[in-house]
Structure 1
Amino acid sequence: MAKRFGGRFSPGIRQDNLNPAPPAPIRHRLAGRPKYVTMAAAPFLFGAFFQDPAGMAGSLAAFGVIASAMWMTGEGLAAEAAYQVRRVARRPAIPRKLFGSVLTGLGLGLGMAEPGGLAGAGVVGATGMVLHWLAFGADPMRDKGMAGIDDFQGGRARRMIEEAEGHLSQMRDAIRRIGDRWLDARVDRFAAAVEDLFDRVRDNPGDLSAARRYLGIYLMGARDATVKFSDLYRRTRDPAVRQSYETFLDDLEQDFSAKSRRLLEGDKTDLDIEISVLRDRLAREGVRASEPAALDAPRTETARFLDGLLTPGRDKAR
């Protein structure tokens, strides 16, 4: 289906929205490798049609299992990329790359299995698992930046953010129905501001109460407005409606960015208070900063001779 192109000089495009670029999608540096492994397993697929029924079933199963393993591995790489870019993150609930490694070994074993040769197929499968681990690495197995975070508050924040991410996804889907790449990029810019607020709440789940209205009511309103705009603009292509929607996004994006800054300033204020309270407690305990250490006495012969001349009482004291 043809898509309307929205460029720099297209009618109805506001020039004040041209500078900020949409954020680059999160992508793992190894995200392209699974497809090459799937392509390397293609001989199992094509060679299956030149075998007997049992061999055909084994070869088709081998290709299907390997393709499934690479899909699982790709999902694991995407989860790892999201884990790496976040300052606070939980380990993936499902070790997808580990499952992908097991499926890879199973697929290779099925492809090499022959009557009476199961030991050799097992060796090939185990080798495939090791090579998968060397090629793609292991899944993150520990939480990151979760020290000092209450599990109950963290769980509430995580559920609220997951619900808010669903609202953002529905906004993107509604805008994609218009087929205007400029509007797609504009919604992505707004989503970047919202995801910055997500990061603030992940770092400090105690801020959830202050951000709840933004992650719930305001984001739901933005989603509903986007769906209505999409339906109306696809029918009318009215520039006034488009401009009104873009102004709405501008105002909402500024509100979300301002809320993120206020939460960050609140974190700094809390840190200053904690430092001040700790200093007061140390002062009440009588702890003071240590005095600077005295300079060492001169070490060279000339320096000691001059020092003796300047302090004539030293020799008598000795």
Structure 2
Amino acid sequence: MAERFGGKYSPGNSRTEGGPGVAPAPGSLVRSKAAGRARALFLPPFLFAALAFKGEPKALIMGLSACGILLLSAWLTQQGVVALDAYDARKVARRPAIPRKAFGAVLMGVGLAVGAMVAQPMIYAILLGLAGVILHVGAFGLDPMRDKGMEGVDSFQVERVARAVDEAEALLAGMKDAILRAKDGALEARVAKFSGIARGLFRSVESDPGDLTAARKYLSVYLMGARDATVKFADAYAQGRDPKIRNDYETLLGELETTFAARTQAMLQGNHTDLDVEIQVLRDRLKLET
């Protein structure tokens, strides 16, 4: 296994990602300004809900319907913005299977039209709905319309790379969700830094897949082990908040970061010496740690 990690992010060091003067980890997913605007869309629907209770039964039904449609529009838009941020961050990415922002724009127009029909003629309600669609598209744009891949690489290889990155992202998401149970902001930042390093390596794999089968196997073992260790740590630490458990977990993260980067770079350069042996040793180590 690797030597004990002793860099600036080693256990006991108070500087964590997100703190003063610390730059975001390479490869970390940066949220766009559109993400903040998307969150603001959840507020206006409740105005229709509030006004609905001040009119006749027809106004109540239409006002609540408008509120529900607009909330669904806001949720789809937010999900579309998140998907676009992930799409932009990757060098190899598939277009979203569902055009969430487009559906969000249409529902925005429908919701505004339904809400406006409570007090306005249908023609004005329709015009308001069309204006809502146009403004939504202007504010958030449309979803990516095509896959993004690498020049000179066949579509099957691009699909394999994209699928491998999706699987790795799912493991990182599970790791992030698990550490929230520990209720420790410093550890959440530590896991965010680990995720940023991992994503930086995803970008390397996307640029030069090399032996994707070996890389995929290695990445999955590392990230699955890190996720499982995080799940078990969070459950144990939440009960007694034992500082020894916390230190052991941070030490494991540090060692994973070091060996993760070194071995992945070696694989990208075509060095697969003793890879199967190292994977088995890693599995045994992670099993012991967890």
When the two structures are superposed, what TM-score results if normalisation uses the length of structure 2?
0.76
Amino acid at match of 2:34: L
Distance in structure 1 (CA, Å) of the matches to 2:242 and 2:135: 57
Amino acid at match of 2:51: G
Distance in structure 2 (CA, Å) of the matches to 1:234 and 1:245: 13
Corresponding residue number in structure 2 for 1:314: none
Superposition RMSD on alpha carbons, in Å? 2.8
81, 89, 92: which is aligned to 1:88?
92
How far did residue 265 of structure 1 move?
Answer: 4.6
Corresponding residue number in structure 2 for 1:252: 256
Is contact 1:149–1:204 with CA below 8 Å preserved after alignment? no
Corresponding residue number in structure 1 for 2:62: 58
Distance in structure 2 (CA, Å) of the matches to 1:130 and 1:136: 10
CA offsets per residue over residues 206-245 of structure 1, 9 Å max, x none? Answer: 4422312322222222222223333333344443333222
Distance in structure 2 (CA, Å) of the matches to 1:254 and 1:74: 35
Question: Within the alignment, does 1:14 sit opposite 2:11 as a pair?
Answer: yes
Runs (5+) with no aligned partner, structure 1: 1-12, 267-318
Distance in structure 2 (CA, Å) of the matches to 1:189 and 1:131: 37
How far did residue 101 of structure 1 move?
Answer: 0.8
Distance in structure 2 (CA, Å) of the matches to 1:156 and 1:87: 13
Question: Within the alignment, does 1:127 sit opposite 2:127 as a pair?
Answer: no
Distance in structure 1 (CA, Å) of the matches to 2:82 and 2:148: 17
69, 77, 80: which is aligned to 2:81?
77
Distance in structure 1 (CA, Å) of the matches to 2:137 and 2:202: 32
Alignment of 1:224-263 (within 5 A): 224-263=228-267
Corresponding residue number in structure 2 for 1:286: none
Is contact 2:76–2:101 with CA below 8 Å preserved after alignment? yes
CA offsets per residue over residues 116-173 of structure 1, 9 Å max, x none? Answer: 9433322222222112112222222233344322222332333333222222222223
What secondary structure sits across from 1:31 in the alignment? helix
How far did residue 79 of structure 1 move?
Answer: 1.4
- Relative contact order (alpha carbons < 8 A, sep ≥ 6): 1 or 2 greater? 2
Quick one: structure 1 residues 148 and 105, their matched pair in 2 at CA, closer, same or farther if it must change by over 3 Å? Answer: same
Corresponding residue number in structure 1 for 2:206: 202
What secondary structure sits across from 2:254 in the alignment? helix
Question: Within the alignment, does 1:159 sit opposite 2:156 as a pair?
Answer: no
Q: Which moved more, 1:97-106 or 1:109-118?
A: 109-118
When the two structures are superposed, what TM-score results if normalisation uses the length of structure 1?
0.70
Corresponding residue number in structure 1 for 2:146: 142
Distance in structure 2 (CA, Å) of the matches to 1:246 and 1:115: 60
Corresponding residue number in structure 2 for 1:179: 183
How far did residue 99 of structure 1 move?
Answer: 0.6
CA offsets per residue over residues 168-194 of structure 1, 9 Å max, x none? Answer: 222223322221222222222222222
Is contact 1:48–1:60 with CA below 8 Å preserved after alignment? yes
CA offsets per residue over residues 85-123 of structure 1, 9 Å max, x none? Answer: 223322222211111110011111111226994333222
The higher radius of gyration belongs to 1
Distance in structure 2 (CA, Å) of the matches to 1:219 and 1:263: 16
CA offsets per residue over residues 245-280 of structure 1, 9 Å max, x none? Answer: 2222111101111134335555xxxxxxxxxxxxxx
% identical equivalent positions: 45
Amino acid at match of 2:89: V
Corresponding residue number in structure 1 for 2:172: 168
Distance in structure 1 (CA, Å) of the matches to 2:131 and 2:229: 54
Amino acid at match of 1:241: I
Distance in structure 2 (CA, Å) of the matches to 1:112 and 1:236: 55
Distance in structure 1 (CA, Å) of the matches to 2:118 and 2:238: 59
Distance in structure 1 (CA, Å) of the matches to 2:123 and 2:211: 57
Corresponding residue number in structure 2 for 1:292: none
Quick one: structure 1 residues 88 and 155, their matched pair in 2 at CA, closer, same or farther if it must change by over 3 Å? Answer: closer
Is contact 2:210–2:268 with CA below 8 Å preserved after alignment? no
Runs (5+) with no aligned partner, structure 2: 1-9, 271-290
Distance in structure 2 (CA, Å) of the matches to 1:116 and 1:18: 58
Distance in structure 1 (CA, Å) of the matches to 2:164 and 2:183: 30
Is contact 2:91–2:150 with CA below 8 Å preserved after alignment? no
What secondary structure sits across from 2:94 in the alignment? coil
Corresponding residue number in structure 2 for 1:310: none
Q: Which moved more, 1:58-67 or 1:205-214?
A: 205-214
How far did residue 37 of structure 1 move?
Answer: 4.0
Quick one: structure 1 residues 125 and 239, their matched pair in 2 at CA, closer, same or farther if it must change by over 3 Å? Answer: closer
Q: Which moved more, 1:130-139 or 1:201-210?
A: 201-210
